Structure 1
């Protein structure tokens, strides 16, 4: 059982922060619950500087601002593992992103240890320690937390601190530490920018199937749904499902009677949102219709172009011993193709920047797409 401090009041947190401010390294993790809510519900913060392992109770501490200030302290590197969801938590609660940041999952990937390694697997691989993941389904908002739950949470930062030096040494030997720091910084970008309600329809599954007038309906419905979700802190799918929005946009009911006949909406959705839906549908304008959604996979020559680019990336990824998923995912290839087919206008695509450019180099210039 690891020794830790349970921080549940402002005074103790302030004293802890004063200590952490003197450190060079702070390992972090968060535990949260996100089932029906739009925003994750923060249940616990774990932190370890090599001296004091702290479990911070955000349900008891009333002022976390002093702790959040550590996230942007420039001389304090923040270490997290597979931190995408943690970054969302920080964006919402702290209104900032950790910098400088080292994501150990990215570090392990670029060190050649395996792509998307889970924390327990990485600990086992580098430290020969088998972690008990039995508390992974804990309700972190419930109090009191059991000793087993607290130990589980403490393990998530304790062993990460222990394995960090091994990762750093390997990456320095490979001259890839800068790659990891750059990639870790990249994944923090744009997380403080809220979703534009006017563009929420672009994230609705199968929106590309719709004609301009139908897209206009979807645009207005998706905007309303997002605003409701944020206001009520509900996951958008619990306001109304994607497939229901698509059905509404295609059939465009003008009355409650017509709405009642639609089978893609639940009776509860019709009862709770029916009048508002009809109101929105009645106000959709024929002016300023959205452009049809451009689906790159439907373009002429897409399959052969994608295959050629993917083969180049696979070859270079193997030569550099970098996972292809990290070097150039399907989304990254699409970004490159759009840029290429648009006459190379605008910002360079990701695979032609930073450490990826070191690997890909001019190899993509050798193919005709």
Structure 2
């Protein structure tokens, strides 16, 4: 177990960042807590450059700006494992994203370790070390952190730094290193964009059930809910749940008493939001109705077309020794089929771009859909 430096003041952070600016590779991990909040609450940042392993306490350091700036260096490779949630944390707290992102989970998949391998399993397979998972449910906001918790956190970057060269060599041999950085660039795109209230209704479960007029009501409801969630830092479901928004859009209650008659809302939601919900519903723009949400899967021929694409991509994945989930997940197939059926007029779907397109384009073009 490597010794680590615990950073809990601005001066120590500045000194650490100055050292890290000499590095070309930085291994990073974050620990956070997400229960009722819209954004995850950052509890700890682990960093290792091969010389100094540091645990940065974001609850004690008052200015993390130098560290966020470090991560945005064009020539710095930032190594994380299964980093989607880490990127969300960086976007929220640092308004930044790594320029050269190396996700070791994606890299491992392209090296033959299988799709979605967990960190502990990757450490075991690459280093023959079994990690203690005893602290995985730690409340990273609570202080003080125990020695066991700190060592657990430090392990996340110590061993990943040892694994990185192994993955790097395999990727270079297979000429797939560029694929990993391409995936990293794709994963960071749009992370700094503010949540869009105008399109929030498209992400409400079962919105496809609604008519255009009902969608107009859902649109203002979903926008209001998002604004509430952001203002109060609450997960969307802790403002009003999806099924309740759908019911409101369908029933369109005209008064507070109508709201109180609805079984889909909790008593607490009624007390807190009844008056507001009535006003929000009245603000719906019924002169400019949204288009009905087109459910591709309900169209004739969808199942057979989906199966044909999946079979084609499965053959490609097996031939290239790349996990099918990485080349053609259900969502990827759906996007491709929608693009074809809409006349190929929009931007090509993910499965046809970059390294995926190199593998798939010629084969997919031969399908009759």
Deviations 1:9-49 (A, max 9, x none): 00000000000000111000000111111111110000000
Q: Partner residue of 1:320?
A: 320
- Distance in 1, matches of 2:295 and 2:217, equals 19
The alpha carbon displacement at 1:198 in A equals: 1.0
Q: Which residue does 1:7 correspond to in 2?
A: 7
Tell me what 2:145 maps to.
145
Q: Which residue of 2 aligns with 1:222?
A: 222
Could you list the runs of 5+ residues in structure 2 that have no partner in the other structure? none
Q: CA deviation at 1:81?
A: 0.3
Tell me the residue number matched to 1:43. 43
Q: Deviations over 1:57-96 (max 9, x none)?
A: 0000011000001111122110000000000001111111
Listed as ranges, the gaps of 5+ residues in structure 1 are none
Conservation of the 8 A alpha-carbon contact between 2:55 and 2:154: yes
2:84 & 2:329 partners in 1: Cα distance? 17
- Rounded to whole Å, the distance in 2 between the matches of 1:64 and 1:163 is 28
The residue that corresponds to 2:209 in the other structure is 209
What is the rounded CA distance, in whole Å, between the counterparts of 2:343 and 2:72 in structure 1?
A: 39
Paired residues for 1:133-172 under 5 Å: 133-172=133-172
Counterparts of 1:179-190 in structure 2 under 5 Å? 179-190=179-190
1:358-369 equivalences under 5 Å are 358-369=358-369
Contact 2:220/2:283 (CA < 8 Å) preserved in 1?
no
SS of 1:187's equivalent? helix
Does 330-339 or 312-321 show the bigger shift?
330-339
Question: Structure 1 residue 262: deviation in Å?
Answer: 0.8
Q: Structure 1 residues 71-80 or 13-22, which shifts more?
A: 71-80
Q: Does 1:73 align with 2:73?
A: yes
1:176-198 CA-to-partner distances (Å, cap 9, x unmatched) read 11111111211111111122101
Report the counterpart of residue 305 of structure 2 in structure 1.
Answer: 305
Is the Cα contact below 8 Å between 1:312 and 1:364 reproduced in 2? yes
Distance 1:268 1:348 in 2: 46
Q: What CA distance in whole angstroms lies between the structure 1 residues aligned with 2:343 and 2:360?
A: 20
Determine the C-alpha separation between the residues in 2 that align with 1:223 and 1:195.
10
- 1:341, CA displacement in angstroms? 1.4
Superimposed CA distance per residue, residues 152-182 of structure 1 (whole angstroms, 9 cap, x where no aligned partner): 0000000000111111111111111111111
1:287-302 correspondence to structure 2 within 5 Å: 287-302=287-302
Point out the more displaced range, 229-238 or 190-199.
190-199
Q: Give 1:277 deviation, angstroms.
A: 0.5
- TM-score, length of structure 2 as denominator length: 0.98
Q: Which moved more, 1:103-112 or 1:174-183?
A: 174-183
Once residues 47 and 331 of structure 1 are traced to their aligned partners in structure 2, the CA distance between those partners, rounded to angstroms, is 34
Structure 2: distance between partners of 1:65 and 1:282? 44
Q: Is the 8 A contact 1:106 1:184 kept in 2?
A: no
Q: What secondary structure sits across from 2:311 in the alignment?
A: helix
User: Within 5 A, what are the aligned runs for 1:187-266?
Assistant: 187-266=187-266
Partner of 2:335: 335
- CA deviation profile, 1:327-354 (whole Å, cap 9, x unmatched): 0111111111121112211222111111
Q: 1:361 to 1:258 in 2, by over 3 A?
A: closer
Equivalences for 1:16-35 in 2 at 5 Å?
16-35=16-35
Cα distance in 2, alignment partners of residues 349 and 212 from structure 1: 27
**SS of 1:44's equivalent?**
strand
**Partner of 2:23: helix, strand, or coil?**
coil
Deviation of residue 361 (structure 1)? 3.6
Q: TM-score, normalised by structure 1?
A: 0.98
Deviations 1:115-150 (A, max 9, x none): 100000000000000000111111111110000000
Aligned ranges 1:120-131 → 2 under 5 Å: 120-131=120-131
Say if 2:33 and 2:140, in contact at 8 Å, map to a contact too: yes
